[in-house]
Amino acid sequence: MKSKTYELCEFLTDVVQVEKLAVQFPHRVGYHQSCHGLRELRLGAASELMPPPDDAAVGNNESKTHRLLRMVEGLELVTLERSDECCGFGGAFAVGEEAVSCMMGQDRIADHQQAGAEVIVANDMSCLMHMDGLIRRQKQNLPVMHIAELLAGNKLPRNGKTQP
């Protein structure tokens, strides 16, 4: 069954072989790489791992997710200081170590803000829900989106709701 299961961006690049997207998103995007995506699915290069990720594009080590984001007209991918750092969610970890989890999430959000991101995009809904909860509690204005929403052509979220 594993051979028939794909992560969304992997499916779009490897199976469908998307080379162009008719999508516009004229915003500065911070891409959050989830721990699960990095370390289990190997969708990017985790700094503590020496070998290139399975998801590396030939020759330039660019992830499939980054390749798709670069196809979006007007999108500017911001450079994060710590692109592979955990947001602190981790399921039961967030419950058992709530204070640590919140601090880790605040650090991730601050990294995106420092880079000038207008929106945080990720492949992992649990990371997005965790960071969105922290952002809302702090009454900050930094929307989050799942990459599927962005690739489908949805607009930047306003008041917590994605605009189709």
What pLDDT is stored for residue 41 in this prediction?
A: 64
Which pLDDT belongs to residue 3?
76
Residue 164, pLDDT score: 66
Could you read off the pLDDT of 87-116 as tens digits, one per residue? 889 878 777 888 888 999 999 999 999 999
The predicted pLDDT at position 60 comes to: 44
What's residue 58's pLDDT? 39
124: nearest Cα among 26, 55, 41: 41
| 23-33+72-163 CATH | 3.40.50.11810
CA distances (Å), 140 to each of 17, 31, 118, 126, 136, in order? 38, 18, 12, 19, 6
List of the chain residues with pLDDT < 50: 55-61
